Amino acid sequence: MASVREEWRRYWFLPIVAAFANIATVIHIYTLGPFMAPLQEEFGWSRAQISSAITVSNGINAGLGVLIGFLIDKYGPRRIGLIGICVMSLAFASVSTATGSYANWIFLWFLISLGAAWTQPTIWTSAVSSRFNAGRGFALAVTICGTSVAATMLPIISTEAIINFGWRWAYVFIAAGYFLLAMPMNFLLFRGAADGPARGQKLEAAPPSQPLVGMEVREAFRSFTFYRLSMAGLLFAFCSMASIVHFVPILTDRGLSPLAAAGIAGLIGVSSLIGRFITGYLLDRFRPERVALVAFGLPVLAALLLLYGDGLIAYSAAAIVIGASLGGEYDIIIYLTTRHFGLKRFGAILSTVLVFLTAATATGPLTAGAIYDRFGSYDYYLWLTIPMVLVSSLLAGTLPKAPDEYSRVAGH
């Protein structure tokens, strides 16, 4: 079996290019907060109506995700991912054509749901997991760090683009930037074990691949571990996604300017990036269930800071805590999936797990927006998150030890 150093020597580029492509999984989420105010001003929509865009996109994505997972297992992640980069770029840019009709708004986010399905994390992590075993935790952390970079930069980029060019051109600008960043390098370098060698690549340059091992889909669905892991992800994602989407409005309601609120929101991405690498390091060295127990419980502290804190220090601390916890979410879920169920049907199994997470991200922001519209405050939503994340932490943190036989990857 290859060592961590050998894995990185052979495939150092793969997690990096996958990280840039993975930005598509959250590009529509991390930008929605800054767009809320101009959309409200132009169209007179409520925050719940605007947030329902996430419900539509993630709800449809949840259904399509399983199909995409089976396609990944059949055709390999490369073909799916390259198509997804194109679809997501066009769909995101199309939001600039919103007419003010709520039906039109829903249709545009239906298009985004198609792009989100074809760029889901399963695609990028499937390829990376097939190349890394000894260093899989850190490799997955690098792959998912694209979302942390997005959390840091997109609220600020979106706010600046809206101020300087208007919200319509801001959508086009962000979509074009993503495409130019992700497509060239992924076209050249993104290949998992199931994709085979690039044209002209010498087969002897790498060791021959071995069959991927793991559970069949039906076997996984009969496992109680599958449902515990899925429910833990659902509860955590429900709270974390709502916090991300509504973080800027939460702060502006407390008297901060939009740009100041966006700047503090950017701390979520910074701490998420740091938390992601720390989580990856810990996953490779400690029992992952124990790492999940701590990481999934951190949002309790963030909720209390937002409820009882006052001023930039408290709000910044809340952003850092949210980011640190968020940094481990997908890494932990994906890592636990590979260890408990193997890689043989990883695409289909992880995509089904992500259905639970996607359903949560579809309803979390909408619920938070509806609570605000009903009570004129986010405090009731913040109180709701505390018991939910505590249950999530216990579900993931008390999973049984993963079987050792699923540790082999292709080419090792």
User: Residue 205: its pLDDT value, please?
Assistant: 42
How far apart CA 91 and CA 76 sit, in angstroms, is 23
Is residue 162 in some structural domain? yes
Instruction: Using alpha carbons, select from 249, 109, 128, 116 the residue that is nearest to residue 178.
Output: 116
User: Residue 207: its pLDDT value, please?
Assistant: 46
**Structural tokens at position 322:** 């949210």
User: Residue 248: its pLDDT value, please?
Assistant: 85
Is residue 405 in some structural domain? no
Is residue 203 in some structural domain? no
Q: Which residues contact 193 (CB under 8 A, 6 or more apart)?
A: 127, 130, 131, 209, 212, 409, 410, 411
Cβ neighbours around 376 below 10 Å, total = 9
Is residue 175 in some structural domain? yes
| Residue 254: DSSP 8-state | T
User: Residue 201: its pLDDT value, please?
Assistant: 47
| The residue count for the chain | 412
Cβ atoms of 35 and 162 closer than 8 Å: yes
For 59-87, give the DSSP string. HHHHHHHHHHHHHHHHH-HHHHHHHHHHH
Amino acid letter at 225? T
Where does 167-257 have alpha helices with state H? Answer: 167-189, 217-221, 224-253
User: Residue 340: its pLDDT value, please?
Assistant: 86
Is residue 271 in some structural domain? yes
Instruction: Using alpha carbons, select from 136, 134, 80, 70 the residue that is nearest to residue 344.
Output: 70
Please list the residues that pair with 214 across neighbouring strands.
Answer: 342
User: Residue 411: its pLDDT value, please?
Assistant: 43
User: Residue 111: its pLDDT value, please?
Assistant: 93
Is residue 290 in some structural domain? yes
- Residue 55's domain spans which residues? 4-188+212-400
User: Residue 87: its pLDDT value, please?
Assistant: 95
User: Residue 409: its pLDDT value, please?
Assistant: 45
Is residue 274 in some structural domain? yes
What CATH number does the domain containing 318 carry? 1.20.1250.20
User: Residue 183: its pLDDT value, please?
Assistant: 95
Cβ atoms of 54 and 361 closer than 8 Å: yes
Is residue 202 in some structural domain? no
Amino acid letter at 318? A
Q: What is the model's pTM?
A: 0.69
Q: Consecutive 10-residue runs of the chain (412 residues): their mean pLDDT?
A: 78 92 87 88 86 79 79 87 94 93 92 90 86 83 81 84 92 94 92 67 45 76 90 90 84 83 82 84 86 89 87 88 82 87 82 83 82 86 91 90 61 43
Q: Which residues contact 240 (CB under 8 A, 6 or more apart)?
A: 299, 322, 325, 326, 329, 364
Instruction: Using alpha carbons, select from 107, 42, 52, 20 the residue that is nearest to residue 368.
Output: 52
Number of structural domains in the chain: 1
User: Residue 407: its pLDDT value, please?
Assistant: 55
116 CA to centre of own chain: 10
Instruction: Using alpha carbons, select from 103, 105, 80, 100 the residue that is nearest to residue 28.
Output: 105
